[in-house]
Structure 1
Amino acid sequence: MRKPDRGTLMAALGGLAAVVVALGVVFPGSVAGELLGIASRPIMAEIALRLAVPITLAALGGIFAEKSGVINIGLEGLLIISSFTAVLVAWALGGTTSAALWTGFAGGVLASVLLAGLFAVVCIKYEADQIIAGLAVWLVALGLAPFASSVVFGGKNTTSINRFSEWTVPVLHDAFVNSGVGILSYVGHVLLRANPIVYLMFGAVAVSWYVLNHTAFGRWVEASGENPNALDTAGVNVHRVRYVSVLVSGLLSGMGGAALSVGHVGSFVGNGTTMIDGKGFIAIATYLFGNYNPLGTFGAAMLFSGLESLQIGIQQFTPYEVPSQLIQVIPYVTVVVVLVLVGRTRIPEAAGEYYESGDDR
């Protein structure tokens, strides 16, 4: 049986959402009405945007790497190492001032870029299997970050530090919130006063889309993953393009991990699968569902984070006796269902394959 394409699936999801909204409006006292009431709260959208940040940024990094021909499934590890390093550096500088937090953020990004650089050398220069190398990145970070936290802080969870303060768009925020118009007030609450990591995510999505679709480097990245021999023949060094692309994946993933720890949580939690808790692997699912398009990837990340935000709202704002474990699994089940329904995404032709550049022969 032929599986529906993304457009059909999104139309179906949109239709289902419209039905739920209609039922909620007509029957405000029903379950649909309560769900609509929860979902329409500005705080739910704010939570969803913050939850989408690490997933979106890591996914954007994965797009650059994989489109260039390097499959980086170590995104989870990059998120872990950057989130821990950001807290460590910020804490070392006092952990209270804006300068300390932003310096910690930069430190987390640097740690991720260095680990991504090591991954790139192993895969591109020494021809290691990219899947195994990516798993190694994840496992190294999964063990190293909690161990380092135990050495420095005496436990797998670090000391709490301050978080980024929200930014307010001058004039517009007050004008929108006090306008008396529902949609304008909603926009004012959600988008015109937000954590800076949300604005960082919006900027990264826009820049990534522009670079990949409207610059020479974006064309090189695509050619490196689809037909590296043609790119080499045109005089562009394939290895350099792949190195830069993997480093970009480290940069963006580092921003995501650091944003989560110093921007949203204010600490690093190293218990179990750490505070990252599979977000790097969800990021891979989102860019596959988004078909390597930054805008589609952002939409997929918002689908996941929106459901996660909704499950938080269900637990906090409804009287239903539903096991929390059952509610918490909703976003993950949705991602699996979406991927199964959409089917297999065509990955770049040369993804995962070593290429011997003409300059190295």
Structure 2
Amino acid sequence: MSLPSATSTAPVAATPQDGPDAPRPSRRAAVVMAVLTVVGLLFFVVLAAGGTSTLSLASAGDVVTLPDLVLPARTVSLVLLLGCAALVALAVVRTAAGRRTPGWVVPVFGVLLVLAFLVWVVTGARVSVVSLLGGTLLLGAPLVFGAMAGVVSERSGVVNIAIEGQLLLGAFVGAVVASLSGTAYLGLVAAPLGGMLIGLLLAVFTVRYLVNQIIVGVVLNVFAIGLTSFLYSTVLSDNAGWNSPTGLPALPVPVLSAIPVVGPVLFTQNLLVYLMYVVVAVLTVMLFRSRWGLRLRAVGEHPKAADTVGIPVARTRFRAVLLGGAIAGLGGASFTLGASAAGLAFNREMTAGSGYIALAAMIFGRWSPVGALGAALLFGFASNLQNVLSVIGTPIPSQFLLMAPYLATIFAVAGLVGRVRGPAAAGEPYEK
């Protein structure tokens, strides 16, 4: 028996939502969208004070300086929320007819709702769109790398709960190597090794010894926190030279970086952000347009069938988990090397649950690199918006601002993601 070609649609390699056994449409997403729209109309329109919101589109180095957008907050919020209501109506009609809601509805709804919230919350203030979106990329980078690590691991059938530990150890190793070598680029090369160490332990226990994947992932997260905290207290605290990394400088792309708004946001970033673009693009092509991706997905969907046609299940999973660990370790470098050109010293538990948010982004993105990218950037936007609003003095209590990224995660995964099914064999050990 021979394997199908990389571009064929064999049942064993179908995406989690394909096939005749796909679940019926869920009403949950439509209900959550409707509730959020009503809440938005109440707060952003009915109870909102009149005034204008000023959005700055200009930045230094622009070829053409765009004028500020001065928007009537209540009117613009109403228009955006009416767009949300139209999407809710579309979702309700299709669900009632037993048809699935198009995949673009939830992302567009999220964008409209976030824009309505932004216009309302900055009423009477001036906010730089370039800084807001540029900061979103920086804060979203570790989430994107973590989500990509989860996609690779789970597509092979191994649930990677240990993303948090991989990010944390990657941040630690990156900071120490960058500090000792005096160059952030060596730290960037070393950071994936930290993530691979946790990935190696995960692969050994789950693939070789068939230990429960969820339990091992949680234990490895605790192990990474304990190890880095111990080394921080005993080594880094007493040796300042071991924890003073230089950050990655911004590398503007000629011509493209001068484009208004888009240039400063996408093309005036550090090497780590550019690597993020590459990783997402390469994984998308490799997972769905290559023999390697076909074999990987086959192992995650039906390992016994894959084994029957000659695919080494254990080796495929082992390598996928190691690759995922390396990608997550690269994301960990974002915390210490990608934060600013001056770098950022490593601190205990500085990832602050980012690994779990990355795992949620992977689920929200339906185990797809592009979908996980969008979800991770959404959570990164929530984090950066919290920082921006605290600076401009919004009336929203600071405690709610700190909860913003986690609330966005809960609403996205528990409500908007709908009914999804991951790789069929994810979490299930395989033994010949």
TM-score band, normalised by shorter chain: 0.7 to 0.9
Aligned ranges 1:231-246 → 2 under 5 Å: 231-246=306-321
* Aligned position for 2:28: 3
1:270 is matched with 347
**Structure 1 portions without partners, runs of 5+:** 25-29, 177-183
Question: CA shift at 1:121, angstroms?
Answer: 1.0
Count of aligned positions: 331
2:237 counterpart residue number: 154
Q: CA offset at residue 15 of structure 1?
A: 3.7
Q: Which deviations, in whole Å up to 9, do the C-alpha atoms of 1:298-324 show, x marking residues without a partner?
A: 10011111111111111112x334432
Residue among 38, 54, 59 paired with 2:142 = 54
The answer for unaligned runs of 5 or more in structure 2 is 1-25, 30-100
Determine whether 1:286 maps to 2:361. yes
Tell me by how many angstroms 1:233 deviates.
Answer: 1.0
Task: Please say if 1:169 is aligned against 2:253.
Answer: yes
Aligned to 2:420: 345
| Equivalent position of 1:354 in the other structure | 429
- Change over 3 Å in CA distance of 1:32–1:172 after alignment to 2: closer
Give, as a single letter, the amino acid of the residue that structure 1 aligns with 2:251: W
User: Which residue matches 2:394?
Assistant: 320
Distance 1:335 1:259 in 2: 20
Counterparts in 2 of 1:294 and 1:8: CA distance versus 1, 3 Å: same
**Could you say if the C-alpha distance between residues 308 and 18 of structure 1 is closer, same or farther in structure 2, counting changes exceeding 3 Å?**
closer
Moved more, 337-346 or 132-141: 337-346
Higher relative contact order (CA 8 A, sep 6+): 1
Change beyond 3 A, Cα 1:148–1:235? same
Q: Which residue of 2 aligns with 1:180?
A: none
TM-score, with length taken from structure 2:
0.72
**Cα separation, 2, equivalents of 1:296 and 1:123:** 27
The corresponding residue for 1:12 is 109
Partner SS for 2:28? coil
1:306 pairs with 2:385? no
Q: In angstroms, what is the RMSD of aligned CA positions?
A: 2.1
SS in 1 for 2:426: coil
Which secondary structure does the structure 1 equivalent of 2:367 belong to?
coil
* TM-score scaled by length of structure 1: 0.86
Q: 1:34 to 1:232 in 2, by over 3 A?
A: farther
1:86 corresponds to 2:163: no
Q: Which amino acid aligns with 2:188?
A: F
Report the residue type matching 1:132 in the other structure.
I
Q: Is this contact kept in 1: 2:176–2:245, CA < 8 A?
A: no
Q: Distance in 1 between matches of 2:401 and 2:223?
A: 31
Cα-to-partner distance string for 1:126-148 (whole Å, 9 max, x where unaligned): 11111111011101100001111
In the alignment, is residue 110 of structure 1 matched against residue 193 of structure 2?
Answer: yes
CA deviation after TM superposition for structure 1 residue 155, in Å: 6.5
More helix by share: 1
| 1:250 partner letter | G
Distance 1:156 1:314, change over 3 A: farther
Name the residue aligned to 1:124: 207
Aligned to 1:101: 184
Q: Give the deviation of 1:102 after TM superposition.
A: 1.5
Q: d(CA) in 2 for partners of 1:153 and 1:260?
A: 16
C-alpha distance after superposition, 1:91-120 (max 9, x if no partner): 222x3xxxx312122222112112211210
Instruction: Indicate the SS of the match to 1:185.
Output: coil
CA contact (8 A) 1:60 1:287 kept: yes
1:258 partner amino acid: A
> In the TM superposition, what is the alpha-carbon distance from 1:19 to its structure 2 partner?
4.8
The Cα offsets for residues 262-288 of structure 1, whole Å up to 9 and x where unpaired, read as: 2225234433xx110000000000010
Q: Give the letter for the 1:144 counterpart.
A: L
Residues 157-207 of structure 1: per-residue CA shift (max 9 Å, x gap): 97332101100112443xx3xxxxxxx311122222112211111111111
- 2:262 & 2:243 partners in 1: Cα distance? 35
Cα distance between partner residues in 2 of 1:59 and 1:296: 10
Task: Give the C-alpha shift of residue 10 in structure 1.
Answer: 2.6
After superposition, where does 1:210-249 map in structure 2 within 5 Å? 210-249=285-324
